[in-house]
Structure 1
Amino acid sequence: MSTPPSMRASASSIGPPSPLQNAIDSTSDVPESPLAGVPDLKTYLAETEEEKLAALKLVADGIAQMRQTANRILMYNPYNLAAFLAFLAVVSNYLFKTRSDIGILFTTSAGLLMAAMVTVRRFTNPYITIAEEVHISLLDDADVLVTKFGEEIIGTIIVGWVDGETKGKKRKWRAEIRGWAVRLRYRGKGEGMALLTEAVNLAKKKDADGIEFAPDHAYSKRVLWDFYNGPFDKKEKKAESKLQALWGNNTKSKKR
């Protein structure tokens, strides 16, 4: 069957295919990797002084950020809120006589709120001082693990070594975590747990007796009264529990 003249004319008007057509078609079908251009994420032992100082600064930043947590604890504590609202009610009852007093009542309440916030910040300000006093001695006789995302250090854990039990002629060591920090915007993504795991692996590699948080670790100091330190203590116990769970799981896997 012959091709109708109209179809032959339209086909011939298109012209021969471009020699690059096949190459273009073949590359356009290959999807770009979703990880293309994403920096590498790696954890390793810091070797340079610059990396160790960056890790130390990250720990100091973590201490300074404890002030924000302490501020929230004081401001949202139920007893503190109740006392402030009661005081505000007394002041309002004293000031408010007629509708014309609403302006004065509003400005006075705002002033009292600002004064309360300034008082809270004054009580938590020592965390800034503690952060500024973080000394390079924290790195003495310690291994510093850092997590790097591209060229940025986003996490660190500082592992010190203390004498453990001597078994026979073999000297044993015990690992102590002196500092542990993840940059604020990278928290909640598992980087902290990954660093704990790396610390456990390092302790096992060095045949340590065990691993724990040092009694005087970087976040051990408290500036509030014991009544308010529950959230800090709870977080610390949770971290210690995770660390011991990792150590126990690692020990079991080695015995298999």
Structure 2
Amino acid sequence: MSPTPSIHSTAPEPPTVELPQLRTYTAESEDDRVDGLRLVADSVAQQRQIASKMLIAHPANLAAYVLFIAILVQYMYKSFDDLLVLMTTIGGITMACLVAVRMATGGYLFLAEEVNWEWLGDDRLIVVKWGEEVIGALVLGWADDASKKKPGRRRRGKAVVRAWTVKLKYRGKGVGEGLLEEAVKVAGEKGADGIVFDRDHANSKRILPKFYNGFLDKREVRAEKALEKVADDKGNFRQRRSSPTWGSR
């Protein structure tokens, strides 16, 4: 006979015990600051992919490409023997277009290289860490001149978000909102009048003409609305967003 299990045997721990801890805090160690700054630079570089997709999939560009290929077929295709040359020519033209797209959006890589220690300066870098991995970063600065602040005095003016990003696979899970809440909390504790996105934040610059930037512009508007909502719900500022001078810096 097999022994009866004891009722005092240790029960298995729930699976959630094994999950890494999610933490949001101001980065102090060099490793955390490096990882957070790299995440911001990556978010700038990723705009190149978005801009490339906009160039390739834009209706005006697609229409121009199809029209050009149609004219080429009309001009070159006379018999079945011309098919190989025609297909080779179309392939070459397509590759040339892709190279042109790559060159047109390459400026985002140079913008990403500008996100360095000098760009960060003395601003606060807030990170979200999942276990040992930094998965989100926010750079919090000030709109006023820091040199005018007297020792021991609370900060005046508005706090500004100079960068806000989350790793791609963790987006849509509330990580970004947690970063905004921490930024609003810190800004309130420092005595800020309010908090807004910096006009020259890390992802604000555009390489392509305005005609192609619709998706990036809409994403920026959504980010501003998200910050406004968190500031209204969680903020402790002397000045509210309804004030006529809220947007001034």
Q: TM-score, normalised by structure 2?
A: 0.85
Q: Percent identity among equivalent residues? A: 43
Does structure 1 residue 209 correspond to structure 2 residue 193?
A: yes
Shift of 1:251: 4.3
In structure 1, the gaps of 5 or more residues are 1-13
Matches within 5 A, 1:43-122: 43-122=24-103
Q: Displaced runs of 4+ in structure 1, greater than 4 A?
A: 25-28, 251-254
Identify the match of residue 176 of structure 1 among 160, 172, 193: 160
Residues 171, 217 of structure 1: CA spacing in aligned structure 2 closer, same or farther, 3 A cutoff? closer
Shift of 1:95: 1.4
Give the Cα separation in 1 of the matches to 2:155 and 2:140. 18
Residues 202, 64 of structure 1: CA spacing in aligned structure 2 closer, same or farther, 3 A cutoff? same
Does structure 1 residue 22 correspond to structure 2 residue 5?
A: yes
Q: What amino acid is the match of 2:48?
A: R
Give the Cα separation in 1 of the matches to 2:182 and 2:74. 60
Matches within 5 A, 1:30-49: 30=11, 32-49=13-30
Q: Which residue of 2 aligns with 1:9?
A: none
Identify the match of residue 231 of structure 1 among 180, 198, 215: 215
Shift of 1:174: 1.4
**Which structure carries more helix by proportion?**
1
Shift of 1:201: 1.6
Shift of 1:103: 2.1
Identify the match of residue 190 of structure 1 among 159, 174, 178: 174
Shift of 1:211: 0.4
Give the Cα separation in 1 of the matches to 2:180 and 2:84. 55
Q: What amino acid is the match of 2:131?
A: G
Give the Cα separation in 1 of the matches to 2:213 and 2:63. 19
Q: What amino acid is the match of 2:178?
A: A
Give the Cα separation in 2 of the matches to 1:171 and 1:76. 47
Give the Cα separation in 1 of the matches to 2:236 and 2:134. 32
Shift of 1:99: 1.8
Q: What amino acid is the match of 2:177?
A: M
Q: How many residues align?
A: 232
1:138–1:178 CA contact under 8 A, matched in 2: no
Shift of 1:243: 0.6
Give the Cα separation in 2 of the matches to 1:175 and 1:27. 55
2:191–2:237 CA contact under 8 A, matched in 1: no
Residue 35 of structure 1 aligns to a residue in which SS?
helix
